[in-house]
Structure 1
């Protein structure tokens, strides 16, 4: 079996190469989906999916959507042994050979007359007519037309998910307070040192506490309560938790609350807030019952009773 050297193989991980060899060993028409390969291999579905995406990015794998006669749309996975023909565009077809141009007919050129040597004057005679001599002339070569280089074409397959070897974006730095005052430093240190009492898996070393103090101080500076910070940092951790300091660093950075609004922002909010007139409560002078009224006096029942007494007396 002849083997072709493929320059793309040196960029593929060993897991993808092993999965490609396993796919090539399957019979023609076998299923090569994620679940079908997971049933044949010891690797899990996530690792097999990452290897298939890597093979698809390098052109070894194609995913084609087909419509069945019933109308259902399915995805067919096609494996290619030679992805070079897929990654590089075909060469442009050569132009058909043009028929050779007919050479021009030879032009007759009269030959020069030879002068006789000096001697005795010959008898007068008629000069012979010049004989035409045909000298073929070569046709000038046709100029060669410049061949334009083929335009670079876009690759046929563009990976939707970057391969595992792609460079990752740099992580955001740990938030810092505007000023790490001694009070903030003591409060953040006490918070981190006491964290293991509420969540035993978050037991930190002294170096981890000193490194995470600015992040907790930034949360405290933004008016976040210790209970809210504790819930945000320790809620639903992964099991098992191998690196609690890394998880706290990530959550302190990504879940940072916004800064509280200033006095001017609150004043602008109050100006745009709708106003409602609230009628105060009053205590009836006769029955001591509470009722709403802008001025003190009697409740409705007491007013009706007084009105009835006044009519009876009249």
Structure 2
């Protein structure tokens, strides 16, 4: 059975001016007059937000004033769980789109208000609108006499003092703190910083080179997706040698390079270079670095056994205890 063609879609594509791109997305823009929400590209293409956070932000913008946007309220209408929605709200709060304010009501109750700003960077520079002074009332027109009648005598106008215009600022709502500093968004055409270089060992010995080459060549034994060419192995050998120089076990290196691989794996050499560079462990500390600092020890007088009564007593040299010494001293005059 042949695939059915969408004639409406084909007609819309034919009406797009200019040639269609050879690759990439093709936009069919149909103007809307109701039920739409304007979303800026700074949010839709924000590099620091996840797709879940961007989707939650778009949903909050589409809700009316006063709608509940808590975790449970959003989870009731979204397939994402409460944990993902809570993490997305924290992302929006970190970059300044979402604010949580504590406000005191007239009855003394304290509530938490959720404020969403569609342009955090422009909030700090937004001008404050003040109420314009009322326009003075136009004076009544002078009465025009009817034809054939004498003009009425004009009475002097009473000097009416102008009503004072209050210069006090209009009452404002609850004070909104300054937005959190937003994450700077790089320009799409800005040049990206160069990636960090592949680590290299301090002493690149032939033994390290031989072991690193053997480890990289053996990756395809259990992981066919990591079948590397000789040139790629030659380029990645210094990185593995740096790991081996830091006393890293080969099984640990193999597990680090082969665990949680993306599917499909399009650039194995780039993935291995990234992991060898960013997951490099520190050198092992020396034995004296792990010992506790020496503390001054308190001199302890050892125990001795009395030669007369066999009792234990503390003394630097063997001999008699205090009682035996006193008894011997008391017997000495009597014997004399």
Q: Same fold (TM over 0.5)?
A: no
Structure number with bigger Rg: 1
Q: Could you tell me the TM-score, scaled by structure 1's length?
A: 0.43
